[in-house]
Structure 1
Amino acid sequence: MSKLRKGSTAAAMAVALVGGFEGLRQTAYPDPATKGPPWTVCYGETSGVKRGDQYSVAECKAMLEGSLQTYATGIDQCVKVPLPDKRYVALISFAYNIGVKGACKSSVVGLINAGQTKAGCESLLKYNRAAGVVFPGLTRRRQKERDYCEADL
């Protein structure tokens, strides 16, 4: 069972970390990297989103919490070593941003699974591009994820 239970410390940290970097936009907007589809809304949701979609803050928060649980389940399936809460939250945030498949196939998860935790956490910093372009916001996000990842080393 995932440690991302509603009301848990990890769940609260994940909402704060991901929500803080994704930002809240209640009206659908085009992907900032491609300037077009996929359309994005709330805290970075893209599934089923169309131009003109609008949501309340409560709907957006509920979407974020549900999505985080989905990403946590993906991380649970590919990470084979125990994770302290902050490292777990860092990997969920990473997966939320690049997808579960991308996260699970990344050097980050590979190194952590191989017992090279510090190197895995450091490799988060390599994932700061979208459409081949370095984004300052992604760089800041990866630095914060790395800090969370390394918190218990």
Structure 2
Amino acid sequence: MIQKHRGKVTGAAVAVVGLAVGIVGPFEGLRTKAYPDIVGVITVCYGETRGVKIGDSYTKEQCDEMLGDALVDFEAGVRNCVPGEIPDKRRASYVSLAYNIGVGGFCRSTVARKANEGDARGSCDAMLAWNKAGGRVVAGLTRRREAERKICLSAL
């Protein structure tokens, strides 16, 4: 899944992406046919939204590859706004959050700001604020943020 990116991805990034797949995949779930998510964004596979339109359909294998490719991109985005050495589990939790809220949202977040200030615990705790969709608290997002925070804190 990640192999085609080895030329541009460091060994650490491959490890982070592998960990992130284990977080993102179960929370996003697999749907091989495009559908509108809870706020109406057209989505497919494991929460992919980039370039997706109603009528799109993929195999599980294509979805797995799509997720790996996307997470490589999101890992690079997270690394750009939170550079430096961070334990793989913490970075994987950041990648999972960024995959859900976008790299721009992540980079502008309190999560990233606190990480860059050296406040690892505060950064992990700030993930809990990202549990809304369409202005409403969503139970599934709350569970996901709690899991991401737990993984993030386990790296302290």
Residue in 2 that maps onto 1:82: 85
- The two structures have a TM-score, normalised by structure 1, of 0.92
CA deviations 1:7-37 (Å, max 9, x no partner) are: x3x33211110001000000000021x2x3x
- Whether contact under 8 Å (2:32, 2:44) holds in the other structure is yes
- Whether contact under 8 Å (2:17, 2:75) holds in the other structure is no
Amino acid of the residue matched to residue 16 of structure 1?
G
Residue in 1 that maps onto 2:63: 60
Residue in 2 that maps onto 1:49: 52
Looking at structure 2, the residues matched to 76 and 152 of structure 1 have their Cα atoms a distance apart, in angstroms, of 17
Residue in 1 that maps onto 2:107: 104
Partner of residue 17 from structure 2, selected from 4, 8, 11:
11
Looking at structure 2, the residues matched to 47 and 11 of structure 1 have their Cα atoms a distance apart, in angstroms, of 18
Looking at structure 1, the residues matched to 123 and 50 of structure 2 have their Cα atoms a distance apart, in angstroms, of 29
Residue in 1 that maps onto 2:4: none
Amino acid of the residue matched to residue 22 of structure 1?
E
| 1:50, distance to aligned residue in structure 2 (A) | 1.0
Amino acid of the residue matched to residue 4 of structure 1?
A
Consecutive unaligned residues in structure 2, runs of 5 or more = 1-8
- RMSD over aligned CA atoms reads 1.1
Looking at structure 1, the residues matched to 17 and 50 of structure 2 have their Cα atoms a distance apart, in angstroms, of 21
Residue in 1 that maps onto 2:142: 139
- Whether contact under 8 Å (2:45, 2:63) holds in the other structure is yes
- The two structures have a TM-score, normalised by structure 2, of 0.90
Residue in 1 that maps onto 2:5: none
Looking at structure 1, the residues matched to 13 and 23 of structure 2 have their Cα atoms a distance apart, in angstroms, of 13
Determine helix, strand or coil for the equivalent of 2:85. coil
Determine helix, strand or coil for the equivalent of 1:28. strand
| 1:116, distance to aligned residue in structure 2 (A) | 0.9
Determine helix, strand or coil for the equivalent of 1:41. strand
How many pairs are equivalent? 147
Determine helix, strand or coil for the equivalent of 1:4. helix
CA deviations 1:76-128 (Å, max 9, x no partner) are: 10003321010010000000000000001100010011011101110100110
Amino acid of the residue matched to residue 121 of structure 1?
C
Looking at structure 1, the residues matched to 115 and 43 of structure 2 have their Cα atoms a distance apart, in angstroms, of 31
Looking at structure 1, the residues matched to 30 and 83 of structure 2 have their Cα atoms a distance apart, in angstroms, of 33
